[in-house]
Each structure stands twice: as C-alpha cells, then as structure tokens.
A and B are shown apart, each in its own frame.
Chain A
C-alpha cells in the first residue's frame, strides 16, 4: 500500500481510517476484476514457464571422478567424498567385502547432514529422526519426503569412480 501511494501530507493511517465516510475507499468491482485478470495472467505465465522448463530439459552431464581406491576403507567404514560440488559432500559406505554405496549427505527434509548408523545398518538424520535405507537410500521412517540422491559408483582398475547422481532432481 505504502509503495503505490501518491505523495500526500495526510498520514497513511488517517487515509485508511478517515473521519468522513465520503473518503472511505472500498474495493470496486473494477479493481477486483483487474486483480483477478492480473492474477490469472500471472498463473498462466507461471504455467508457461513450467511447460517451457520441461520442454527444454537437458540431461545433466556428470563428470567421472575418482573418489576412493578399493580397500581404502574397511567393511562398515565410511568416507566423506565430494562429487560435483565441494560444498555438497556425499557419504560413501563400504557395506560388504565387495560392495560400496554412496549417497548425498544432505537430508531431503531440511538439509541436515546425515550419517551412517553402523549398529542398525541404516542412514540416520539426527535433526528429526529421519532414517534412510542403506541399500537404496529410500526413506524408512521420519519426515523426509524423498529418498537420498544416490551416487552411482563404478570400479575402474582398483579405483572407485563416481559416474553420476541419481534422484538428485533437475
């Protein structure tokens, strides 16, 4: 209201609560129609934007990054790796003699850092007691709405190579 006001000596509160009933302003039919038209135009434009985004969607290109060497961590061990973005660490777990998994460390609920709970063999978010499966990152319990994004690993001559992220969204 204050931004759309013409310069005036009358204080805003007096303009909104006038002494004279003749000075009272009500929303007119035309104002309401304007509001409705502009709002529906805004929603139309927003839908166009969403549509354009889905049409112009491009599959992201992931780099191949060496994140660890085989045998670097023991069975049940954890290594924090960074893939793609240095500030967005991922959690790599050696779940068996020959199996490794890696997930984004950012909880899908409110972005707390999750950690591997070895005794229960699951990933836990300590903020709101969210639990993720170690097998595929799916939500076991708690408020997180989506599974953890998964880092797909590949074995390459004694090295573990991250090749892409799955479920990270667009």
Chain B
C-alpha cells in the first residue's frame, strides 16, 4: 500500500517490547496487543523475536473459518475477525502455520494483526513499525530495505504446504525461501 511493504527481521529485535505497547494503544483494539512476541530460547539466550501477521496470499486461517469471519481485502491485508461473525471456535488458531491468531476470551473473538488497517490504508505506517528502535519491524519502501545485508523473502515451506505472504522475512542473502521442518520443531520432541 502506497509503495511500502512490511519487513520483519528477528535478528534485529532487542526485546524492548515497544511494539507491544504501541499496538495496545491503537484505537481499534485498545488494550490488546496483536504483536506475537517470543523469547526464542530463554534458558540459553536473550534473543527475542517480535512479528506480525504475515498476511498470506492464500490465508489458511480464512480458508478454515466456518463462519466466514476472516477476509482478505483487495489491498492484500487479511483482516482481524469480523466481530458479528466470529464464533471463537479456534479453527484459525489451530490452522495458521505461523501461530498468529489468538482467541481473546473476554471478547469471545479471535483477534489478530490487521497491519493497522486504519493507518496503512491512508498511507500511515503501522504503530509497531513507527516505534521499533532497531527497525526489526520495518514498514518502508523496497528500495530502502534493499540497502540491508539480508534479503527479504516471502516464500515459506511448512512441510509440504507452500505459503507466500505479503509481509517479508529478512533472511540470509543466499536464501530463496524459508523451509521449516514442522515435525523437527515440535516441542514434544525428545532429543
């Protein structure tokens, strides 16, 4: 939208959680942060990762929604669930390969990042990208991000499921796509 794209670079995240606070201040979902914030391996490392919804080209969450509550808009944004339709069934939570949708129990509704649709649709940057001090969450023009050492990638493999997204992940320069062996990452694994 307006020539700008969203780029996520977890290697730049310093764990300040400014994005969470900025997201909470948004008028459309006041008090509830939609940033997915992770401590990668808290026992061994201080590394953190903050990321937003990837806005898949063919959103799995919307495909599995039985209530027709999740829509992909014409400018590529996958919206949060529509309040009159969402039945809080958690299908999207289970289906999303990125683990983005979250059920908010007090509202009995799934809420997820809609890339600050109220802001980005009028040319402003999303709240999180405006506050991120290290630009781990960046909403810039492609020529700006091209100056970085990493390369933006928006093709993901989860096992045999190929997903292309609107939001880019900053990957090593030689990477073409990001493949994740789902079984290998399952936390129940005994190794």
A residues contacting B by CB (< 8 A) are 17, 19-22
Contacts and interface: CB of A to CB of B under 8 A. Distances in A.
Contacts of B70: 19
B74 A19 contact: no
A19 B73 contact: no
B63 interface: yes
A79 B72 CA distance: 76
Chain A binding site: helix, strand, loop or mixed by DSSP? mixed
Size class of the contact patch on chain B? 10 to 19
B12 interface: no
B25 interface: no
Interface string B154-168: 000000000000000
B72 A20 contact: yes
A17 B70 CA distance: 10
Chain B binding site: helix, strand, loop or mixed by DSSP? loop
A19 B68 CA distance: 7
Interface string B60-101: 001100001011111000000000000000000000000000
Interface of B: 58-59, 62-63, 68, 70-74
A17 B59 CA distance: 14
Contacts of B63: 19
Contacts of A22: 74
B152 to A, nearest CB: 24
Contacts of A17: 68
A92 to B, nearest CB: 66
* 8 tightest A-B CB contacts, nearest first: A19-B62, A17-B68, A22-B74, A20-B72, A21-B71, A21-B73, A19-B72, A21-B74
A20 B58 CA distance: 9
Most chain B beta-carbon contacts within 10 A, residue among A17, A20, A21: A20
A122 to B, nearest CB: 59
A21 B72 contact: yes
B74 to A, nearest CB: 5
Most chain B beta-carbon contacts within 10 A, residue among A19, A20, A22: A19
B91 to A, nearest CB: 13
A19 B74 CA distance: 11
A15 to B, nearest CB: 12
16 contacts: A17-B68, A19-B58, A19-B59, A19-B62, A19-B63, A19-B70, A19-B71, A19-B72, A20-B71, A20-B72, A20-B74, A21-B71, A21-B72, A21-B73, A21-B74, A22-B74
Contacts of B74: 20-22
Contacts of B62: 19
